[in-house]
Structure 1
Amino acid sequence: MRDLTLILLSAGSSSRFEMDVKKQWLRIKHDPLWFFVAKKLEKTSVFAKIIITSSADDLEYMKSYGQFTYVEGGDTRQQSLKNSLKYVNTDYVLVSDIARACIEATFLERIISHKTDADCIVPFLPLNDTIVYDGVTIDRDKVKRVQTPQLSKTAILLKALDTDIEYTDESSAIVASGGNREFIDGDENAHKITHISDLNKIPCIDSPSNDILSGNGFDVHAFDDKGDMYLCGVKIDSDYGFKAHSDGDVAIHALIDAILGAAGMGDIGMMFPDNDDTYKGIDSKELLKHVVKKIYNYGYIIINVDITIAAQKPRIGQYKQQMRETISSIINCDMHRVNVKATTTEKLGFVGRAEGVAVFANANLKYFNWQQKS
């Protein structure tokens, strides 16, 4: 029976990465970095369970990728680890940061082979440069660059983390609580991605796929004899508005569905449920801004969008240019890549009877190309 659980920490905000995309969502071909690492380590077949921590915002989307145990992380690395340990029922646990993408099987085997030698097994790299600390040159042979993954005895790690003191790695907590650790040779290839320039030091990752991802959206809203009318974020001169939970901007709602569809992220109702008073009467442009921020955080770029508004009334020809300007400014696209069309239904159906408006939208996405930035 396998007696080792793997915890992959992937709940960070990537604040030091200084890019719109979170580093855990950088694409390796089609796979986000966290999924690429999880699949690679899963192939070793040495783990009873693989646990992946996630921020609350990312949790549901992560679950759509693979059959792992997903745990909501905390505000710190240590809190995320403590949350994950609640789901560990093996004697040993291996903890790694998702930012270490190139953990090879031989490196993993070397760590595991020492599991009974100490309470925590810690890979490290020596320093070859002169080291000066607080103005004093110190013996570089006594300095270690500590890496992950680190392998710990589960019970001892749980006890060590039962504290309010924050530690940057497992071994420091274990030693502080009276346990011991053993240092073993690390691996230069297991470099940690902290800044975008670090991507140049990661030998095992491929470039993102050049595939285009397409999605479509459709929405309808009936007219209401009160309220203002908005389409594509533009106020329309009209004596009536739309029946809706939000401001009723049916064009933006269809566009949101198209964008979410291209990214495989569900639909507008899942993200902004109409039984949640948070969104009652909300400006739909704010909903679109939220979706666009998520899209870019998850490693996508919007290439172009195409919106078709089917309406017997009102006439919107005079508003189309302003609509394009408004949408392009929100989705970070050049205006010529935002198309807005209008049509009638030749007086057929509810649209033709002037009971409401229907909108079809299409969106095309691609992956953020981190190779061009690193």
Structure 2
Amino acid sequence: MQELSLIMLAAGNSTRLNMEVKKQFLRIGEDPLWLYATKNLSSFYPFKKIIVTSGNVSYMKKFTKNYEIIEGGDSRAQSLKKALELVETEFVMVSDVARVFISKNLFERLLENIDKADCITPALKVCDTTLFDGQAVQREKIKLIQTPQISRTNLLKKALEQNSDFTDDSTAIAAVGGKIWFIEGEENARKLTFKEDLIKLNLPKPSCEIFCGNGFDVHEFGQTRPLILGGIEIHPSMGLKAHSDGDVLAHSLTDAILGAASLGDIGELYPDTDMKFKNANSMELLKKAYQKVKEVGFELINADICVIAETPKLHKFKEEIRANIASTLNISEHRINVKATTTEQLGFIGRKEGIAVLSNVNLKYFDWTKL
């Protein structure tokens, strides 16, 4: 049996998908797309090593210990070059996670031809009349290149040393004089690039699971500046001590949202040792945190927020806070609830030394079937 390594490329920005979620994190059942595609391809063969390139290594490592997940580069070629540093086998198979439905038949046909050339590549013929710059071209000479491709590792490494931005392995191998062997590709190996492709690929629907997160934060009174809660000025001078603007409500809600998505906490994302967050607008930080949550495939179902304070009284501000949170997160107001209570004069809050906020949120997977 031929020793073979597998590289799965999953570090792209998904700009052409034109959605807030990155395509590698679209949920296919319970799995993000990158994991679904890697599980599928890796089930066909006992690969010596499986490497996945990523733009979010720490998060992706939470899903599995079976693969080596590494930081990708700014382009496909740069990501591949980094991954190849870990490959020691004579041959390497490279695929894009956006090609979700690679069949075992296609895989086996690639493997059967491994000794035919330096790079074995699936390709589709063009059946329709094809124009380039308004002029018809000979469609018989056109091939639509697909992945996965199997290449001789040393030659692929040599090709990428040129630092050219190759968009696939076969063109890289050809650039250094390597031989390419084409096999017939498959329609089901279509690459997920645009929203419409989600319908064409007929992917399994995302799971209906719900994820709960909570956040708790406390700040002490004592800084002469406005008291801000949920982005709303409550008092002109009863400010809270903090590295940022002291919006304890926004901090609590940010933690809850991050927690539900398993993305750590606000201190990891916005450390108070970093001067760029000095006096930062906490609602803007909340907005950016929620953007990260959406990028990895979640959306907010609801948030329930409880402000615990003896002073000032908040009943006049609750609706304004609720509306501002909804506007900041671009969700319906009915999904946000804001409550206020006291500690009946007990403890540091009862002594009017500070304010605490408890937030609970529920997230669900982004449902791409409703596009």
Determine if contact 1:37/1:101 at 8 Å carries over to the other structure. yes
Is structure 2 residue 370 aligned with structure 1 residue 372? yes
The correspondence of residues 127-142 of structure 1 with structure 2, limited to 5 A, is: 127-142=126-141
Residue of structure 1 in register with 2:268 after alignment: 270
Distance 2:294 2:176 in 1: 42
Distance 1:274 1:89 in 2: 43
Residue of structure 2 in register with 1:15 after alignment: 15
Deviation at 1:160, TM superposition (A): 0.9
Deviation at 1:269, TM superposition (A): 1.4
Determine if contact 1:304/1:333 at 8 Å carries over to the other structure. no
Q: Per the alignment, do residues 138 and 283 of structure 1 end up closer, same or farther by CA in structure 2, a change over 3 Å counting?
A: closer
Distance 2:262 2:349 in 1: 30
Residue of structure 1 in register with 2:119 after alignment: 120
The 10-residue stretch of structure 1 (287-296 or 269-278) with the greater mean CA deviation from structure 2 = 269-278
Distance 1:365 1:237 in 2: 32
Distance 1:331 1:83 in 2: 36
Read off the aligned partner of 2:164 and give its amino acid letter. I
Determine if contact 1:246/1:279 at 8 Å carries over to the other structure. yes
Deviation at 1:65, TM superposition (A): 1.2
Q: Per the alignment, do residues 10 and 347 of structure 1 end up closer, same or farther by CA in structure 2, a change over 3 Å counting?
A: same
Distance 1:127 1:81 in 2: 28
The correspondence of residues 297-312 of structure 1 with structure 2, limited to 5 A, is: 297-312=295-310
Determine if contact 1:2/1:47 at 8 Å carries over to the other structure. no
Residue of structure 1 in register with 2:252 after alignment: 254
Deviation at 1:132, TM superposition (A): 3.1
TM-score calculated relative to the size of structure 2? 0.96
Distance 2:210 2:135 in 1: 55
Residue of structure 2 in register with 1:184 after alignment: 183
The correspondence of residues 47-62 of structure 1 with structure 2, limited to 5 A, is: 47-55=47-55, 58-62=56-60
Deviation at 1:140, TM superposition (A): 2.3
The correspondence of residues 312-351 of structure 1 with structure 2, limited to 5 A, is: 312-351=310-349
- 1:170-199 C-alpha deviation (Å, 9 max, x unpaired): 111111111111001112111101101011
Q: Per the alignment, do residues 282 and 225 of structure 1 end up closer, same or farther by CA in structure 2, a change over 3 Å counting?
A: closer
Deviation at 1:136, TM superposition (A): 4.2
Distance 2:269 2:39 in 1: 28
Residue of structure 2 in register with 1:66 after alignment: 64
Determine if contact 1:2/1:48 at 8 Å carries over to the other structure. no
Is structure 2 residue 251 aligned with structure 1 residue 283? no
Determine if contact 1:29/1:206 at 8 Å carries over to the other structure. yes
C-alpha RMSD of matched pairs (Å): 1.5
Q: Per the alignment, do residues 135 and 253 of structure 1 end up closer, same or farther by CA in structure 2, a change over 3 Å counting?
A: closer
Read off the aligned partner of 1:295 and give its amino acid letter. V
The correspondence of residues 32-111 of structure 1 with structure 2, limited to 5 A, is: 32-55=32-55, 58-67=56-65, 68-111=67-110
Deviation at 1:139, TM superposition (A): 3.1
- Where structure 2 has 5 or more consecutive residues not aligned to the other structure, the ranges are none
Q: Per the alignment, do residues 285 and 115 of structure 1 end up closer, same or farther by CA in structure 2, a change over 3 Å counting?
A: same
Distance 2:245 2:39 in 1: 43
> 1:223 pairs with 221, 224, 235, which one?
221
Deviation at 1:318, TM superposition (A): 1.3
SS of 2:83's equivalent?
helix
- 1:106-130 C-alpha deviation (Å, 9 max, x unpaired): 2212212222221100011111112
Read off the aligned partner of 2:315 and give its amino acid letter. G
- Where structure 1 has 5 or more consecutive residues not aligned to the other structure, the ranges are none
Q: Per the alignment, do residues 340 and 136 of structure 1 end up closer, same or farther by CA in structure 2, a change over 3 Å counting?
A: closer
Deviation at 1:275, TM superposition (A): 1.8
- 1:263-319 C-alpha deviation (Å, 9 max, x unpaired): 111111121122222212211011101111112212211111110000011111111
Distance 2:145 2:108 in 1: 18
Read off the aligned partner of 2:163 and give its amino acid letter. D
Q: Per the alignment, do residues 2 and 341 of structure 1 end up closer, same or farther by CA in structure 2, a change over 3 Å counting?
A: farther
Deviation at 1:361, TM superposition (A): 0.4
Determine if contact 2:225/2:236 at 8 Å carries over to the other structure. no
TM-score calculated relative to the size of structure 1? 0.95
Deviation at 1:168, TM superposition (A): 1.5
Distance 1:151 1:345 in 2: 66
Deviation at 1:239, TM superposition (A): 3.1
Read off the aligned partner of 1:187 and give its amino acid letter. E
Q: Per the alignment, do residues 2 and 61 of structure 1 end up closer, same or farther by CA in structure 2, a change over 3 Å counting?
A: farther
Identity of aligned residues (%): 48
Residue of structure 2 in register with 1:170 after alignment: 169
Aligned pair count reads 370
Is structure 2 residue 361 aligned with structure 1 residue 363? yes
Determine if contact 1:238/1:314 at 8 Å carries over to the other structure. no
